[in-house]
Every structure is written in C-alpha cells, then in structure tokens.
Amino acid sequence: MSASAGNPWRALPVAAPFVPACDAPWLPLLQSPVAEGDEESASAALALDLQPEPFFGPHEAPVVVLLLNPGLSEDDARHHLRGEFTLALRAHVQSERGAPHFHLLDPSHGPGHRWWLRQVGPVLKASGCSVEQLAARLLCIEFFPYHSRSFAHAHLRLPSQRFSFALLQRAIRRGALVLCMRGYRHWCGAVPELASYAGLLRPKNPRSASLSAGNLGAEGFARVLSALDVGLAGTLARGV
C-alpha cells in the first residue's frame, strides 16, 4: 500500500469550504455561527475558505516538529488569494511521500515563509546547511489542520487528523527526533507513546517555537544538529 493511500487531503475540494470528504459530516459543527460581540468565539472560528495546512515536509524526515494549528492573520488571508500559492500548497499536502518543507521553499515569500525562517534561523546558522537542505529533512505536523486566530479545538477528533497522528507514530517507530513545540498534552492524548519516547524534545518556553539553544537547551539543540546531519548524509547519498 502506498504512503498516500490513507491521505485524506487527496480528496480536498477545489472550492471552499476546503474540507475533505472524510470531515464533511462535521461541517455544520466546524461552521458554527458566532454570536455578535462574542470575541472569544470569533477568534476561534475556523477559516474554511483558506486551504488547510496539516503538515509540511517529507513524511520520513529525521526531525519532526509538532505544532497546534495554522494561525490566521490578514496577511495569511491575502496570501491564500494567490492562485499559484494555493495550487502549490494543494500539491504539497497531496504528494505521495511528502516533499521538501513547503513554507521554507515558498518562492512567494509569504507570511508562513517568513515565520519559519525566523524559527529555524539558529539551526541554519549553526549547521551551515542551506534552506533547501533543511527543507528536505524537516517535517512539521499540525495537531489540527484548519486555520483560526486562536486554538480551541482540542476536544475534536476529526477523521483527517488520523493521518497526521499516523505520521507521528511512524516517526517514533523509525527513531526520528521529535520536537513538540506546541500542545504537548493534546499530542500525548492522541499518540500516548509520545510521552515516554526517548527521542522527544520540548521547549523551555512553550510560547516560543524557535529551534534555538536558548529554547531547546544546549544538549537538545545539539541533538537537533546531529539528527539533521544524519539526514543530510542520507540526502547527499540520494543525490538531492
């Protein structure tokens, strides 16, 4: 069976609301109306007119970053109006084995690209690898795939999430280094084996996703560089 056989994002509609077939029964819940003046609910409302961003990067990458869900800003909304961006994003999440990290290599240099460059800047500087090399061995998985300004969806378990959780389980089985930068309790609730996994790193500052020695500790940061070095060796061996 191919790696893409269970990928729900291969059934993503071509027009909004961008919800794959497996999540369609939950659409009324996902589109819950927001009462006027309810800022908390408005902040957590899902932007289903933007394409979901469940994961980025090769599915078998040696380093895996765990986050909560794609954020939402005015810049995000504007950037998703760019046809070439949305077509490339769709192709990325539908690829059979994943592809080099989408946002790191985004030629349109959108808000996601800028955010990711800030987070991985210390790794690029310390490792000496290029953005292209890093993108080829870094996988990011979002706990929840849909955009919102704030995260308030931990109580939901959508069918599409199973594929993301399976990516993490595969990472654990192959001994990848896992950096849980957001939502540790939520991730452990979905994938219990993560809690006792020896290859797990957590940030010192849970509000920061920076892959730096200050946030991961000197030893943790060294483990990231070591794991990426192993990934680089494999990449070079394949002629990438």
Question: Is residue 197 left, alpha or beta, with left meaning phi > 0 and alpha meaning psi from -120 to 50?
Answer: beta
**Of the listed ranges 70-74, 101-105, 172-176, the one predicted with least confidence:** 70-74
Question: pTM for the full model?
Answer: 0.92
pLDDT at 32: 75
Band of pLDDT at residue 235, cut at 50, 70 and 90? very low
Cα dist from 49 to 42, 84, 148, 199, whole Å: 15, 16, 11, 37
Q: Is the peptide bond before 17 cis (omega within 30 degrees of 0)?
A: yes
**Of the listed ranges 12-21, 166-175, 229-238, the one predicted with least confidence:** 229-238
DSSP letter assigned to residue 149: S
Question: What's the mean per-residue pLDDT of the chain?
Answer: 91
Percent of the chain whose predicted confidence (pLDDT) is above 90: 78
Percent of the chain whose predicted confidence (pLDDT) is above 70: 91
Nearby residues of 86 by Cβ (< 8 Å), 6 or more positions away = 51, 80
User: Residues 4-20: pLDDT tens digits?
Assistant: 459 999 999 999 999 99
Strands (E), the chain: 55-56, 63-67, 138-142, 177-180, 200-201
User: Residues 198-218: pLDDT tens digits?
Assistant: 999 999 999 999 999 999 999
